[in-house]
Amino acid sequence: MVLPSPSALRAYRVTCVFIGVALVSFGVFFRFSDPGLYDPFGVRVALALAAWAGAALSYVAPAFRPYFRLHVYGVIAAAIGFVAWLCIANRFAPPHAAAAMFLLSAFGLGGGTPRSERALLACIATLVGVLLGGLAFVENPAVSPLGFGAALVATGGTAYAIVHSRVRSRQLLAEREARYRSVIENASDGIYLLDPHAGHLLEANDAFVRMLGYSPDEIRTLTLERLVVVPPGAPSVADNVARAFETRRFSLGLRTYRRKDGSLMDVEVSGTVIEEGGRELFSVTIHDATDRRRVEMGLRVAKERAEAARASAEAARERAEDAARLKSAFLANMSHEIRTPLTAIIGFSEVLGEEVPEAQREYVRIIESSARRLYSTLNSVLDLAQLEGRALRLRPEPLDLAAEAAAAAGALLPLAVRKGLRLTLDVPDTPVPAVVDRGALTRVIDNLVGNAVKFTEHGGVTVAVAADEDGTAVLRVHDTGIGIEASFIPHLFDEFRQASQGYDRSHEGNGLGLAITKRLVELSGGTVAVESRVGEGTTFIVRLPAPADTATDTAGDGTGTAGTPILAPRG
């Protein structure tokens, strides 16, 4: 035999007590209300004592409990038979008919499981069947057979419908609870039920048990004070509980929980207030935030390192800018201090060249030439210092690049003449507009054409001007000189860098002209590039912005002075 559950035991005991009380009560009532009716009171008392004895034995005799269910079914069957017998024996007298209807209605109070539903259905069907059969055989019943039969069927059907509805509701509730419990038990987050008034946990799912290391029995004795680590200055557990009662739903963010072994873990805490059995409880969910805290710590460390690196880079940049300013200031001051006496040397050299005898004039010429060379170098150093220190302010204006190139190239004719080179100007008839500072443009052309002449021994130099399809003004300076090694081209525009270094270099120069040229072009919003082959020559290409309203077809037809020599070599 199967031992009944505690809830089933309670239901069986209530049933036995109710049947006994009902039998005795109705017997007393019938004896005083209608003594002429047949109603053996002793049978009632015997049935009542049998019912009460079963209830008492279920308390004092554990061995009886497995048989308690059969005892209850027997008592119910005896009560049904006794009531049906009294109804038939008294020809369905109204008091006994009413008692039968009461018993039939009382069956609707029971039922909680499918098994009890089937048992009650059998009781209802038996009582209704016996009473209907009695109506058919009893002569002259005290009640209307048709009306009483209909009442029996309706009452029995209603009682069964109530029992079936209750059982079905409990089944649905049990299924829903089973689903919810399955979800909770299989959740990856820890979930526990907390009694906020007592301050201890009631139960928890498997994930919570795994996270914290407590057994299910230990969970029920666990308090929040043992579980939660409150950092100094943070709200206490009691404060958090009070706040949760106010909001009903709460999210406490990151908190630290203490495991059974004393180790700590970071969790995200959220929950809600629920009602169960007339009391308010907390359903709390915790999510393991160890990985999140590790990532946050890594991000914080990376951020601190990045900020330190940025601060270091900013400090290095400031130091570099200070050094550059100091260098520029030093160069400017030194250039100024040296240029002043050089001006006097050049001036007095010119005077001495006219005053000294012919035999000494060559010496004076050497002094003047050297002074001018040094003066040019100092000017270049000063210009570079101004460009680096951003002290030089350009004033861009619309100019005709073709006309400016022709004028600047013409000023360099004497240099080409002395070396016997051909200087050619290749420009269109129509203007080639460009937006550039006039002084900067002259300096750029002087540097490029001067370098071309200096590094060309045979052939010539060509200065070409044109406009691209997008209106950009283009200046090309081509020579047939010695060319530039491909490995040196990336360093061509660096300060003080020359292809030939040391005392045995083949050409004079300070290595500043192209550096100044590049800076002037870029400050004007343009670009400079170079193409070169050793032994064949070099071409510098300067692109300058055109005015905004310049048409894209300003390149002209290529006629006019294109390819016209300015000077041919002697002889």
Instruction: Dump pLDDT digits (tens) for 542-556.
Output: 999 888 765 444 444
Q: What DSSP designation does 248 have?
A: S
pLDDT for position 377: 63
Is the pLDDT at 560 greater than 60? The verdict is no
Strand bridging mode 397-400 / 564-567? unpaired
CATH number at 188-288? 3.30.450.20
Considering the chain, tell me which residue range(s) the CATH 3.30.565.10 domain(s) occupy. 397-567
What contacts 24+ positions apart, CB below 8 Å, involve 112-120? 112/7, 112/11, 112/166, 112/167, 112/170, 113/167, 113/170, 114/167, 114/171, 116/11, 116/163, 116/167, 117/163, 117/164, 117/167, 119/73, 120/159, 120/160, 120/163
Q: What is the pLDDT of residue 503?
A: 37
Terminal CA-to-CA distance of the chain, rounded, Å?
A: 138
In 3-state terms, what secondary structure has residue 509? coil
The larger pLDDT score, comparing residue 571 to residue 451, is at 451
pTM: 0.42
Average pLDDT, the chain: 80
Q: Which amino acid is at 222?
A: L
Residue intervals of the chain classified under CATH 1.10.287.130 are: 310-388
- Residues 6 or more apart whose CB falls under 8 angstroms from that of 549 comprise none
Task: For the chain, give the percent of residues with pLDDT over 70.
Answer: 87
pLDDT above 90: percentage of residues in the chain: 5
**3-class SS of residue 284:** strand
Q: State residue 49's pLDDT score.
A: 93
- 187 HSE (CA, 13 A, CB side): 19
Q: By mean pLDDT, which of 269-283, 363-377, 413-427 is the weakest?
A: 363-377
| Alpha carbon distance 205, 266 (integer Å) | 18
- Flag whether pLDDT at 523 surpasses 70: yes
Could you say which architecture CATH assigns to the domain 397-567?
Answer: 2-Layer Sandwich (3.30)
Residue 515 CA to residue 521 CA, distance in Å, equals 10
For residues 140-147, average pLDDT: 86
> For residue 380, how far is the Cα from the chain centroid?
55
Range(s) of the chain covered by CATH 3.30.450.20: 188-288
Please give the single-letter amino acid code of residue 555. A
pLDDT number for residue 568: 39
Runs of H (alpha helix) within 455-535 = 513-523
pLDDT at residue 394, as a whole number: 75
CA-closest candidate to residue 38, choices 49, 30, 48, 47: 30
Q: Give the per-residue pLDDT at 46.
A: 93
Q: What is the pLDDT of residue 454?
A: 85
What are 474-517's pLDDT values in tens digits? 999 999 888 888 888 887 777 665 555 433 444 454 567 788 88
pLDDT in tens, 164-215: 888 888 888 878 877 777 777 777 788 888 887 777 888 888 888 888 888 8
Q: What top-level class would CATH report for the domain 310-388?
A: mainly alpha
